[in-house]
Structure 1
Amino acid sequence: MIQVSRGWRSVVKTVSVCVLLAAPIAACGPLQMPLEDRTGNDQWLDTQIKSGILGEFSKVDHTYLMDVNVDIWKQEVMVTGMVDSKGKYYDVMSLIKQDNRIKTVHDHLEIADADSIEAYRAAEDEYGKNAVPTDSATQTVSDVWIEGQIKALLLAEKGVSSVNYRWQSVNNVVYIMGEAQTDPELQKVLSIVRRIKGVKRVVSHITLA
């Protein structure tokens, strides 16, 4: 296991990596999660793709596991997060795009200076999900808090299948992907996310079934 001392969010990412890397070994066929509106084969293939990407990240640079988010829905990949150089940006995107099973890559990976990334990590680790900070390094609401609010609100909303969505908040911009069964569901999801305190903008890659 990769040891990361960057607070609870990084620990969660590290544990997720280990689980995903173990999945292809532990399972012997397509995963069956009937609550999601994608087939077992889609779920299994998405898991394989993500575990492969995270495995490559762990070989090349462990900071990719901390700072780059990879979300997948039906072989469409959404990349978010921050790296501190163009070289790392091209490296990350190259590692992702080498899997020819991927249909589309939604690239939202940002390049920032190392000091800004370190300040961002520190602020997120300090505030986490416990509060809406007003005095953080960036004077913004915690992205971890926003992500927690999205999860809670979508889970509680009637007519929304929250298991069909993947989302990340980076510098208070929310990136979301997945599949809505109807246009009213799609509009409801976007409206909920936009109303959350601190959200600056919502970038949607949600498709209609």
Structure 2
Amino acid sequence: MRHVSFSRALHFAPLAILLLAMPALQGCVGLALGAGAATGVAAAEERGIKNAANDKGIQIAINDRYLKENQYVWRKLSITVVEGRVLLTGVVGTEFSRDEATRLAWAASDRIQEVINEVQVTTSGDLLDSANDAWISTQLRAKIATDTDVVDINYSIETVNGTIYLIGLAQSDAEITKVTDYARTIKGVRRVVSHVWLKTDPRRRPV
């Protein structure tokens, strides 16, 4: 698969900023451009446009189910979907809430292939360091985006309490190793959990 380098992407950044700064009067045009950009990103991903759309539909369905049936879970969790594989991350106070997150996710859509529950349970009352987690995710994204040997667009990154969770599709084992090695070198990272599959993995079930 062809990889668009980070430096090449930067070449188009001024144009993108200009388009985003268009007056509100041209809101309809801006909306169309945004949709076009999203389509372009999906087309560049290994999973393709159709799978990306399917994954977004699954994510919306799970969010809707959480919102309607358990707003505590809805507030606490993040949902990432790659080719029907659902990754749940976040922190809750009880095992019941963790299990409920899995149950409601499965019930949300018949297009789900797998639910990976990486939700952390803590009863200590410790506050989630969201700012530090966001910084860690940003650092990792920057590292892989500037490495021309990594197709960074195929990776989703979630960080919770210093643990980095990865999901996506890799070009090779060497690429996975490089990404996880980058993750481990970031200050504040306690653990790296990878749910990344190779693009040739026979378990893939694209729509």
- With normalisation by structure 2, the TM-score equals 0.71
Q: Which runs of 5+ in 2 are unaligned?
A: 1-34, 200-207
| Structure showing the higher helix proportion among its residues | 2
Shift in Å, 1:114: 7.1
Is residue 39 from structure 1 mapped to residue 48 from structure 2 by the alignment? yes
Q: Secondary structure at the match of 1:34?
A: helix
Is residue 154 from structure 1 mapped to residue 163 from structure 2 by the alignment? no
Q: Which runs of 5+ in 1 are unaligned?
A: 1-26, 129-141
Q: Secondary structure at the match of 1:177?
A: strand
1:143 to 109, 133, 157: 133
Is residue 82 from structure 1 mapped to residue 85 from structure 2 by the alignment? no
Q: Post-superposition, which runs of at least 4 consecutive aligned residues in structure 1 deviate over 3 A?
A: none
Is residue 103 from structure 1 mapped to residue 113 from structure 2 by the alignment? yes
1:53 to 30, 49, 62: 62
Quick check: 2:137–2:159 contact (8 Å CA) kept in 1? yes
Q: How high is the sequence identity, in percent, across the aligned residues?
A: 28
Is residue 181 from structure 1 mapped to residue 191 from structure 2 by the alignment? no
- With normalisation by structure 1, the TM-score equals 0.71
Shift in Å, 1:86: 2.6
Shift in Å, 1:112: 1.5
Q: Which has the higher contact order (CA 8 A, sep 6+)?
A: 2
Mark the structure with the bigger radius of gyration: 2
Shift in Å, 1:178: 0.5
Q: Deviations over 1:173-208 (max 9, x none)?
A: 111010111222121111111111111111111111
Query: Number of paired residues?
Result: 161
Shift in Å, 1:115: 2.4
Distance 1:185 1:53 in 2: 31
